[in-house]
Structure 1
Amino acid sequence: MSPIEVASNDLRMFGLRVRSAIPVPVLLRACVVSAPTGGNPDVQVGFGVVEDPATAEGRVARAGMVSVMADGGTVVDLPGIGRFDMSDGRDMVIEPVPGADRDGIWLAAFGMCFAYLLIQRDVIPLHASALETPAGVIALLAQSGHGKSTTAAALMDRGHDIVADDLVAVARDGGHPMVVGEDLPHLRVWRDVARAVGLETAGSQDLRPGGSRVARLRPVRPRGRRPLAGGIFLEFDNTLREPRLEPVSPFEAVVRIRPHIFGHRPMIARHGPDWVLPRQAGIASKPRFARLIRPRDIDSLPRCLALIEAFADGISDGRPPAAC
């Protein structure tokens, strides 16, 4: 069963009911299930005119393609796709560029752009993949291109339950960070990497026609909130011959989490450093963290997977993570 429940254009994602004017992409139609009709949505997604933030008087902060407005709204300007305006944690207005691919608009709306809408609801979106364990969810955090999705896809092929790819939504609940719902039920893997590790032939599809990434649909199950039990920061070091796992202290985890929070730069520019620090600390307050440092080669992947499994087993068994 999929976390994307569809009735007409009603979706359920991250524990929210979303009413969308965009049809579900062909890629994901096999992964949707029926949902009850009626009722008011938590989030409304539709088409309209979005003012260019570069000329708007209300822009107070900008970081790359993301602009934060004086009224608290966020505008994301994606070349070749369109302009997305998120406000009040409830509304997303999309102005596509002429000829934009409808599936690309959908994937952008419910990926990167939905992260900024979650921020407006004080749900913190982590740029991460994640797997389920008996103790809770373990996040795999890394910069773009550092192997989050490839690692998650390889773990899935080893029988692990992958609950999110690229966007892990975390809310604070009683002093413990909780993972909220799930993202889209597919993993995005670079085509050349997928081919090299044998993932491309294992039920993958083109993410977008002519694109550089393929999608792997994953089996998913309905879930509520689950604790964030731990996290692993994935890093490259080509001086190593073998990958190595190192424990990370809670204080170091607070520092390391910041670059992996969607929107931290525009939010800091808008609100100052005090906006993000409590959220960093909240995410790192209970889970256990480690660093997985590895050479940038495909041959090290099986050993990396074994280290991740050992870390997950240790958390489930109540053992502190050890360097190995």
Structure 2
Amino acid sequence: MKVYQAYNLYIASELLLPELIESEGNPDVIVRFGKVGDVTGAEFDRGSNFLGDLPGVGKFVISKGNEVIVDTLPGVEEALLRTLVLGPILCVLLRQRGLLVLHASCVDINNKAVAFMGGSGWGKSTLAAAFHTQGYDTLTDDVMPVEITAGRLTVFPAYPQFKLWPEALASLGHNTDSLSPVTQNSFKLAYKFPRRGFQQNPLPLHRIYVLSKGTNHEITSLQPQDAFVELVRHTRAMMAVTEPEFVASHLRLCTELVKNVSFRRFTRKPALADLPELVKLVEHDLADSADTLTATAKC
């Protein structure tokens, strides 16, 4: 059983997870194969004791934020299983551990976490990869866990890989010939980048850009009530973890995040050629905010 590091956890897994960074340490989480059997829903609560059933893949149990039992059907593709473990399964486990898990990609800008949040196909990964190409380190792609304690908001790094469309990778100057699909039936490619472009240390969350599609490139302020709605909308495993205590905790965490982080609406027109312009637009927005804070402090 190998030990890996991701999301500020040591993960010991019987399933090989080459996407993650191998490490050493006492496991916080164990992923193992086992027989779930014909258990009843009465033994699980859609919270700390979670039973999931993926048609054509198998069943899995996620317990108390520290154990995952995977019971697969014969012939399941290993790449698909890894994608499920590192995606929806770990999202449930991270929520069990008290984290707010957002559908967002995140980069390191001046030692602060800057996130791009939105639904599937909205360009989160592509935008984060554009920043990575410009020399910024990446923290997360698609799954962003946030720890919220006493008003302090911290993003935990994931692992050094993007899942991107071939056209997006090509537009960023990458050769896609040697890259493999994320899974056998996926159109997206797995782009594993060197550790030197991956921020392995947790960082304070500074800003969240909520992505939207439009006819122009524009960044505007987002009111707290609208930011709250977007957070609820883009929380991972929202429809899976429905135990009342978890739902109440989730709403409290969203409220706390809105109080302590600035939000922007980032509207972009679909144009891969404009990615360098989008990077500059965000850089200028962050710089303008810093100038405003400095001027306010001097007053």
TM-score, normalised to structure 1's length? 0.80
Deviation for aligned residue 1:94: 0.4
Residue in 2 that maps onto 1:246: 220
| 2:297 paired residue number | none
Structure 1 unmatched ranges of 5 or more: 1-7, 60-67
Residue 315 and residue 202 in structure 1: after superposition, are their counterparts in 2 closer, same or farther (change >3 A)? farther
2:230 is aligned with what amino acid? R
1:45 aligns with 2:31: yes
Please report how far the alpha carbon of residue 52 of structure 1 lies from its aligned counterpart in structure 2 after TM superposition: 6.1
Q: Deviations over 1:94-128 (max 9, x none)?
A: 01121011232122212221010011110111111
Percent identical among aligned pairs is 24
Structure-2 change in CA distance of 1:74 and 1:246 (3 Å): same
Match of 2:42 among 58, 61, 71: 58
Mapping 1:1-324, distance limit 5 Å: 9-25=2-18, 28=19, 32-33=21-22, 35-36=23-24, 39=26, 41-51=27-37, 56-58=40-42, 69=45, 72-180=48-156, 182-195=157-170, 198-201=173-176, 204-220=179-195, 221=198, 223-237=200-214, 240=215, 242-268=216-242, 270-271=244-245, 274-315=248-289, 319=293
CA offset digits 1:202-242 (Å, max 9, x no partner): 974432345211012233356443211111011112xx2x2
SS at match of 2:240: helix
Q: RMSD in angstroms over aligned alpha carbons?
A: 2.7
Are the aligned partners of 1:235 and 1:292 in contact in 2 as well (CA < 8 Å)?
Answer: yes
2:47/2:242 contact within 8 Å kept:
no
Q: Secondary structure at the match of 1:252?
A: helix
Gaps of 5+ in 2: 295-299
Which letter maps to 2:114? Answer: I
1:131/1:317 CA distance change after superposition, 3 Å: farther
Q: Give the helix-richer structure, 1 or 2.
A: 2
1:75-98 CA-to-partner distances (Å, cap 9, x unmatched) read: 333344332211111110001121
Is the 2:207–2:262 Cα contact (8 Å) retained in structure 1?
yes
Residue type matched to 1:9 in 2?
K
Contact 1:153 1:216 survives alignment (8 Å): no
1:53-91 per-position Cα deviation (integer Å, ceiling 9, x unaligned): 8xx3328xxxxxxxx736732233334433221111111
Could you tell which deviates more after superposition, 192-201 or 116-125? 192-201
Bigger mean CA offset, 225-234 vs 77-86:
77-86
Task: Measure the CA separation in 1 of the matches of 2:262 and 2:184.
Answer: 40
The amino acid across from 1:303 in the alignment is E
Asked whether the 8 Å contact 1:255–1:280 carries over to 2, the reply is no
**C-alpha separation in 2, matches of 1:282 and 1:138:** 17
Q: SS state of the match for residue 260, structure 2?
A: coil
Match of 1:62 in 2: none
Question: Does the aligned pair in 2 maintain the 1:77–1:84 contact within 8 Å?
Answer: yes
Rate the CA distance shift 1:215–1:251 in 2: closer, same or farther, 3 A: same
**In terms of mean alpha carbon deviation, does 245-254 or 269-278 score higher?**
269-278
Q: CA deviation at 1:299?
A: 4.0
